[in-house]
Structure 1
Amino acid sequence: MTEPLIRRREGFAGQRMRVLPRPLVALASSSPPLSQLLVTDVGCFPRASTHGRTRTHGAEQHVVIVCAAGRGTCTVPSGVHAVQAGQALVIPAGLPHRYEADAKEPWTIWWLHLVGQQVPALLAASGATPDQPVVGMGDPSRVIALIDTVIRRMERDETMSALLASSGAAWHAMALLAADRRTITRQQADPVDATIEHLRANVSTRISLPDLARMAGLSVSHYSALFRRATGYGALEYQTRLRMGTARELLDTTDRSVASVAAQVGFTDALYFSRQFRRIHGMSPTEYRSRDTG
């Protein structure tokens, strides 16, 4: 009979880990900036063979684990969830759980423990729920780089300035987790994603709503609903805002005339371009160019 693996909480070759003293956590949590988000624990466990942790009553902090390589599992009241490279595991405070590295392909993980008033909202934005705690990431390397920044800041010292810097990096990582997760959802399940990328690559070309719907293989009404859900805008307004973004860049970085800029972003009528620019920016292209910057 095979002996069960003895699971270790830590002690892996090459690991990095910082844990704040709990009196410092209490003190920092009362500081206005850090009361919104504070990193209490952070680390990296490379190829963490036999790694595992069981918390029958959950953790006091919210736990975020990013799997960089290998795989593992997490068991919560809803069941067992596989965690693979390129995915994040998000466990809210107080949720009973057990997680562990795979025996054959042990994971490499970067992890954070977080407290603060805004943490639940940030984690909810990632799409993770107590029943579905695993989410995908569009660019795991960026999130990992930010967790590495957190570790390096906390390795330096435990001053309030170091904690504030680590908090900022963690906030950025959570925001990317939410944004990247939404991108993956569109790629996997939303047929409008290819048309959105087409619009971004062809800013100066106006494409009608029926043409976009045909590209997606959907009816106009269904496409319109999915497009608005994905972007927050109607398809034509989204195109206008893409074109205005390019127009802003041209106004900021070139001396080209307003008419030339308008033509570059697909407007044959410079007056109509100026009206649309004012609607979105609250000022004309000329006023925008002459404003104080820097």
Structure 2
Amino acid sequence: METRIHGLRTLAPLSFRRFAGAIADVWSVRGERNGGGFYIAPDPRIVIFLGDTSPPLALRTGADRTEHRGIQALYVPEGVPLWSRIEAGHEKTHLDFHLQSGGLRQRLAAANLRPDLSRPRLLGPCPTLTGLAQMAADEVRAPRRGDMLIDALFTATLAEIFAPPPQPAPPTGALAQERFAAVEGYLRANLTRHVPVAELARVAGLSESRFAYAFKQLRSETPQRWQARVRLEAARAMLEDPTRALADVAYATGFADQAHLSRAFRAAHGMPPSVWRRQVSGTNPGGTVQDNR
């Protein structure tokens, strides 16, 4: 990594946190007019400026010679240079996620998202994104919930940055296939929590009642049953990794706890997930099978 800065004074010690193939850090500085810097790294990076307004910065990335202003968050791919120029003295705090390229692609692919990660992304003010960043920054400074909370906030941040925005629904009120794809992508980006039908309907651009009717016409099942099936299928795919704890799989797929996952899995497959995992992996427990619910 190469960094060159000038006209910046640190206001507080750097806070950082390692988790699941990423590093989150929080940096508070005083920037002087005409200060700024240069940054380039072999790994991708997400930067989110905390607060209600974007800082008075001019930013440019890569070969783009245009300076961009009003930026609240940005994604910088690996090997892409970033220049910043301070246009007015100010104090700012920003949250950075330093990522591993392979891990980022894997996370996005698991949510059925395959964006062009070679292209920088510069985003204007987004209250949802800055709210997530503030919660993540608080967790970096004073950890309260282990890695589960910071990892969930990071996943939600990726959804805000990379998930495509909802498109207007067809005028007939029907749920076209491309609208269903947007709904599915949104659900997979939010697997760690139950998504209400009303929220899925907003993604599709339909009222809740119209969405429920159109969904069943298209898929021959209710949105609730479909969501439960998608979560269970995602859990089953994660269970193929023998090193992944059942509690972690349950959390990552929106089940209340490990016991909730075990009950749902047994109802669908006729056996608890611990037994299914051993059968899939081909291992022989050498005796009575223990139900690790």
TM-score normalised per structure 2: 0.48
The higher radius of gyration belongs to: 1
TM-score normalised per structure 1: 0.48
